[in-house]
Amino acid sequence: MTTIDEFNKWLQRLEDLNLEFKTAENSFSTNKDLPDYCAAIANEDGGKLILGVNPNMEIVGTRAFQNTHNKLSHDLLQKLGIRIDVEELNHPDGRVLIFHIPPRQPGQPIKSTGNYNFPMRAGESLVEMDNATLKRILNETDTDFSGQIVTDLSLADLDDQAIDNFRQLWAKKAQRNDYLSYPNEKTLRAIGLMSEMGLNYASLILFGKKEKIDELVPGSEIIFEWRQNSNKIPYDYRKNWRESFFKIYNNIWETINARNIRFPFQESLFQREIYAFSEKPVREAVLNAVAHRDYTIHNRSIFIKVAPEQFLIESPGGFPYGITIENILRETYWRNRHIAETLEKAGLVERSGQGMDDIFESTIKEGKGLPDLSESDNFSVRLRIPAQVKDKNFILFIEKITREKQIMLSFDEIYELEKIRENQPVTEIEYKKKFLDIGIIERVGKTSGAKYILSHNYYTHSGNLGEHTRIAGLEREQKKVLILNHLKKNKGYLHNLRITFPELKPMDISNLLQELKNDKKIEHVGSARTGYWKLKN
């Protein structure tokens, strides 16, 4: 808490990049000025924004956020991704609000939701961050926690079996049998986990004995919970591992696989099967969590929650800087580089960041739909992988098309087709021509507002032609209903219809109106230029 004396000393300072006073006697913009100033100060290594003080450094008091200031910290966290403590100080000369703004993390400029994307201070004004400053921030290096030296950690604190398990994988991946004869110290030095300064956190997390992990990184733990139904709160089985990763990595998969469920289905004369929990995406999900979690959060563990219908893994810490749900399949960033590089040397992951691609591709190809990251936030990454087959016909249809046309489909192509299958909005289809040529999708509608769906061939193959008719005709009929509802209350002047339905092109509206006229549901009154449409009596 700020004392009156401490605050009075601030009044004697000149405003600078880290201290900003605003009069704000009656109000202060929640959506524009507040996020902009907080982001700008955070970008300048943090500081304080104070409301209720005029340019002459006189306390005038503020009525801004009266009785609501306690909600501002949460609101700013949602907008800026940083926690800002908001303090109300009842000074003898008036009420002031103090925003305690932390500095940004290295390499991570704070983006605002106000008037600026990346605001910064320029004298007494806010301006958009220039390219040179933004580039300098982005080029800053974040500290790799896994590469930091652990004081007093010795070779005696590492598990021989874990190191040997790694050596076996390392030798196989590198095709170097001589690696098998390396003593522990030589192995650790060769893979960059030991130097003249000592052993780092990666060596502790990947190879440490249980008692040392308990002592130094208790959050380096993986907890597995099984529920017969994902909606149940109590678990039916639970197991936790707080040991070196290279000692337990196979046991994790074996524990999950012991509860696997087989989905058989018939294809012509042959029976095929898909499992609820496929090994490749499950292992990739666990490896991603180990390599990317925030180990500075000591009181939270990696959680794996499994039920017959889904596999859910939650790892502490939000996405690394620059990674979002929208770009996670295209961008890569290793939060714990030394851990990631060691997993790569063992052949368990690829530095190219293809792990998430593999998870999505495997799940789509098995007809289970798309993995879901939407529940992730600034504090944890939650990856939900569906376990039940939604559409086996989609798998068989894709295989049939690729076999008959003698073509291969890339991950990006399969991913795009899956979004079309799930009727997600796809405004630009990158592989549209190829898909149309091979008969895997078709276009619905004749104007620029057309959409794309899986082709008639797919629904013929799946024996569900009625669904094709419903999907192909649904959107157009819905638009007609919206126009009819509008005409129940309003005269349908063409310019008003264009304003009311901005998502429709003028030609779309004209075509729909003509169809409704032909169906004898509406009629036109007056001239073509100044007339209007109305419901037909």
CATH number 3.90.700.10 given to 155-386: no
Tokens of 448: 């620029």
E strands, 270-327, are: 270-275, 302-307, 310-316
Question: Alpha-carbon distance 436 to 448, whole Å?
Answer: 16
C-alpha 437 chain-centroid distance: 34
Q: Quick one: pLDDT at residue 124?
A: 72
Q: Which helix (H) or strand (E) holds 472?
A: helix 465-489
Query: What is the per-residue pLDDT for 404?
Result: 85
Q: 4-138 adopts what CATH topology?
A: 3.30.950
Would you give per-residue pLDDT tens digits along the chain (537 residues)? Answer: 889 999 998 898 777 778 899 999 999 999 999 999 999 999 988 899 999 999 889 999 999 999 899 999 999 999 998 999 999 999 999 999 999 999 888 778 999 999 999 999 877 789 999 988 888 887 776 578 899 999 989 999 999 999 999 999 999 999 999 999 999 999 999 999 998 889 999 999 999 999 999 999 999 999 999 999 888 889 999 999 999 999 999 999 999 999 999 887 666 555 678 899 999 999 999 999 999 999 988 889 999 999 999 999 999 988 876 788 888 887 777 789 899 999 999 999 875 555 788 899 889 888 898 999 999 987 899 999 999 988 888 878 888 888 888 888 888 888 888 888 877 655 556 787 888 888 888 777 655 556 777 877 777 777 776 666 666 655 667 778 888 988 988 888 888 888 877 767 788 788 889 889 998 999 999 888 889 999 987
Tens of pLDDT, residue by residue over 15-24, are 777 889 999 9
pLDDT digits (tens, 9 = 90+) for 91-113: 999 999 999 999 888 778 999 99
What's the Cα-to-Cα distance from 222 to each of 127, 145, 210, 240, rounded to whole Å?
A: 45, 19, 13, 6
What CATH number matches the domain at 468-535, 1.10.10.10, 1.10.1370.30, 3.30.70.1520, 1.25.40.10?
Answer: 1.10.10.10
pLDDT tens per residue, range 116-173: 999 998 777 899 999 888 888 877 765 788 999 999 899 999 999 999 999 999 999 9
CA distance 155 to 207: 10
What is the tally of helices (H) and strands (E) in the chain?
19, 19
The pLDDT, as a whole number, for residue 21 is 93
Backbone angles phi, psi at 247, to 5 degrees: -95, -20
Residues in the chain: 537
In what helix (H) or strand (E) does residue 416 lie, and over which residues does it extend? helix 411-421
Q: What is the pLDDT of residue 99?
A: 96
* Per-residue DSSP letter, 193: S
Max CA pair span of the chain: 94
The pLDDT of residue 271 = 62
pLDDT, tens digit, for every residue of 345-382?
Answer: 999 987 555 578 889 988 988 889 899 999 998 789 99
Query: Other CB atoms closer than 10 Å to residue 170's CB: what's the count?
Result: 21
Q: Please, are residues 225 and 305 in contact by the beta-carbon 8 Å criterion?
A: yes
